[in-house]
């Protein structure tokens, strides 16, 4: 991005593309990188009041470099501002510098901050030890976390993405997507109780919350201005306290990416929620393209063959009734289904078995990945209407949507013809084994104890919201699973890459 904006980037004295903060080169180490500590030689900068670049200033600084009387003067001006010249994109009046060039959340947090934090915890960050803090994890703990990573893949739906490899032994297989899933799904569970002091875990969870907030499908302006801004500034301050420790020798713990977190609220206000322009979707599609062609000499023939194979694959799925398409509204009478599902919300054995049959016969009608979950007993999230006045017989019925989790056992097609009714379509019901979710959870996700189920229920399939992952969370005692539902923007990214399953 720095090249696109004609800027010097992290090696410049003025490394930030959004503000005019001055970087500091490490006295030891001999590299050209300029770091951005929070505090240096008694001159702290205020994270709430950064000196931001404006479009007019940016263009004026760029023109000043272009019009310099000599090469030496141009270099001096470029060093002062971090701008090498006028970018060609400046000729587009629709673009504003630097407001049109927001930071990419995936590379900023997943590929940089998280990678660095992992290196700190493993003790591999640029040859630094933990200093006066105790954030490093013991090797056996890292090994255990790695094994749990691999095991969690058994209970994570394939729709979430590729399995996350063992982070202790196979970190070289990690992609940006793996880091993203690891951060939001596995780490909040697997890191709990691992550090010698819980403050490091709490600090990490704050980052996960910031990350999830940035991925929200909608954000209130006031929330970004006030809460998100403060949360990020506090997180960066705590980071400097735990990892930088205000020591000259630890200057390399302050790369530009930590400082860039402070600009997230500006990016959101300038460009909207960060999932609108993050690279997660692009990388998914690029991954598909890369896998589609192994031949450098004949790439287009490879692409054509890949598309041909995908089309054949889809045709086979349709012919064998395993096609996973989108829901077809109107195929099943939803309201009527709800009514009957309420009537039959009891043990499955009470259904008149002569009138129902297992659903896989009609998979071609499509309920997406839910149909593929049958048989694997995946966990699903339900959002049924619950009568909150059920225990008060004198009060009228008042429905409220509530979240509930359970194992999907079967999808059932219920055929019934009621007298004096035009509705004679089959109903789509789901057989669910609900899990008991305690109100309090030690993790940021709901949990349940394996084997603790409520009686099987038959519910309207329309109540099923999505698949959820189960992350093994116990280290002693009975087996406990944390239930993870992907945040809105990550779930919405599923359809970004062509279906290659
Ligand atoms: Zn900045």
The pLDDT tens digits for 48-91 are: 778 889 999 999 999 999 888 988 998 999 888 889 888 999 88
* Mean pLDDT across the chain: 79
> Ligand 1 centre from 185 Cα, in Å?
29
Residue 16 Cα, ligand 1 centroid: separation in angstroms? 5
pLDDT at 363: 32
- Length of the chain counted residue by residue: 501
CA of 135 to the centre of ligand 1 (A): 27
User: 7 CB contacts (<8 Å, ≥6 apart)?
Assistant: 17, 82, 83, 84
Work out the average pLDDT over 415-431: 63
pLDDT at residue 426 in the model: 64
Say how many Å lie between the CA of residue 221 and the centre of ligand 1: 21
Please give the Cα distance from 64 to 77 (Å, whole number): 7
Cα(249) to centroid(ligand 1), Å? 23
Query: Residue 230: in which H helix or E strand, if any?
Result: helix 229-239
Q: What average pLDDT score do residues 403-418 get?
A: 73
Per cent of the chain over pLDDT 90 is 26
Cβ atoms 490, 215 nearer than 8 A: yes
Q: 70 burial class (0-12, 13-18, 19+ CB within 10 angstroms)?
A: exposed
Neighbours of ion ligand 1 (CB under 5 A): 16, 18-19, 21
Ligand 1 geometric centre to CA of 452 (Å): 51
**263 C-alpha to center of ligand 1: Å?**
6
Q: How far is the CA of 20 from the centre of ligand 1 (A)?
A: 6
pLDDT, mean of residues 446-460:
82
pLDDT in tens, 235-267: 999 999 999 998 888 988 999 999 999 999 999
Say how many Å lie between the CA of residue 126 and the centre of ligand 1: 23
Residue 376 pLDDT greater than 60, yes or no: no
Q: Which of 277-281, 297-301, 317-321, 380-384 has the lowest mean pLDDT?
A: 317-321
Give distance in angstroms: CA of 258 to centre of ligand 1: 10
**Cα 226 versus chain centre, distance:** 23
Mean pLDDT on 428-449? 84
For residue 256, report the distance from its CA to the centre of ligand 1, in Å: 8
Using the mean position of ligand 1's atoms as its centre, give its distance from the Cα of residue 107 in Å.
16
The pTM score is 0.79
pLDDT digits (tens, 9 = 90+) for 142-175: 999 999 999 998 888 877 878 899 999 998 889 8
* pLDDT tens digits, 308-361: 888 888 777 666 544 333 333 343 444 344 444 444 443 333 344 444 444 433
Question: Two tokens at 377?
Answer: 């007993």
Compute, in angstroms, the gap from residue 92 CA to the centroid of ligand 1: 24
Q: State the distance from the centre of ligand 1 to the C-alpha of 257, rounded, in angstroms.
A: 9
Neighbours of 221 (CB within 10 A): 9
* pLDDT tens digits for range 192-206: 999 999 999 999 999
| CA 90 to ligand 1 centroid distance, Å | 20
CA angle 18, 38, 1 (to 5 degrees): 25
**How many angstroms does the Cα of residue 129 sit away from the middle of ligand 1?**
28
- In eight-state DSSP terms, residue 227 is I
- In whole angstroms, what is the distance from residue 11 CA to residue 23 CA? 9
């Amino acid at each position: 991005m720095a090249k696109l904006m004609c800027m010097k980037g992290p090696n410049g004295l003025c490394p930030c593309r959004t503000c005019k903060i001055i970087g500091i080169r490490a006295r030891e180490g001999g590299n050209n990188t300029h770091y951005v500590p929070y505090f240096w030689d008694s001159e702290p900068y205020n994270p709430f009041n950064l000196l931001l670049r404006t479009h007019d200033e940016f263009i004026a600084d760029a023109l000043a470099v272009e019009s310099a009387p000599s090469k030496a003067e141009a270099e001096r001006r470029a060093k002062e501002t971090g701008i090498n010249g006028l970018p060609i994109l400046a000729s587009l009046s629709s673009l504003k510098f630097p407001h049109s060039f927001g930071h990419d959340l995936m590379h900023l947090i997943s590929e940089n901050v998280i990678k660095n934090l992992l290196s700190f915890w493993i003790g591999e960050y640029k040859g630094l030890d933990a200093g006066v803090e105790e954030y490093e994890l013991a090797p056996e703990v890292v090994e255990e976390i790695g094994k749990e990573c691999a095991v969690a893949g058994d209970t994570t739906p394939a729709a979430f993405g590729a399995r996350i490899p063992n982070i202790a032994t196979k970190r070289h297989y990690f992609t940006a997507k793996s880091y993203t899933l690891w951060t939001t799904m596995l780490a909040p569970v697997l890191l709990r109780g691992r550090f010698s002091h819980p403050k490091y875990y709490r600090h990490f969870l704050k980052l996960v919350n910031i990350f999830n907030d940035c991925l929200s499908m909608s954000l209130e302006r006031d929330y970004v201005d006030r809460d998100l801004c403060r949360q990020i500034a506090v997180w960066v301050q705590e980071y400097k306290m735990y990892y930088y420790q205000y020591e000259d020798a630890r200057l390399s713990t302050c790369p530009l990416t930590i400082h860039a977190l402070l600009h997230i609220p500006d990016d959101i206000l300038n460009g909207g929620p960060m999932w609108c322009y993050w690279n997660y979707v692009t990388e998914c599609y690029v991954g598909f393209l890369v896998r589609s062609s192994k031949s450098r000499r004949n790439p287009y023939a490879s692409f054509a063959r890949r598309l041909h194979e995908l089309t054949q694959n889809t045709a086979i799925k349709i012919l064998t009734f395993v096609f996973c398409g989108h829901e077809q509204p109107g195929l099943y009478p939803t309201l009527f289904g709800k009514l009957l599902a309420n009537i039959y919300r009891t043990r499955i054995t009470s259904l008149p078995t002569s009138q129902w049959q297992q659903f896989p016969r009609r998979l071609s009608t499509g309920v997406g990945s839910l149909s593929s979950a049958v048989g694997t007993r995946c966990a699903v999230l339900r959002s049924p209407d619950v009568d909150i006045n059920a225990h008060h017989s004198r009060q009228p019925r008042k429905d409220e949507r509530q979240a509930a989790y359970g194992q999907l056992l079967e999808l059932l097609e219920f055929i019934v013809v009621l007298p004096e009714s035009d509705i004679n379509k089959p109903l789509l019901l789901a057989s669910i084994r609900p899990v008991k979710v305690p109100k309090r959870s030690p993790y940021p996700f709901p949990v349940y104890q394996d084997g603790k189920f409520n009686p099987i229920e038959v519910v309207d399939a329309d109540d099923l919201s999505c698949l959820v992952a189960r992350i093994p969370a116990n280290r002693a005692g009975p087996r406990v699973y944390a239930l993870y539902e992907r945040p809105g923007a990550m779930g919405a990214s599923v359809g970004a890459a062509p279906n290659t399953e």
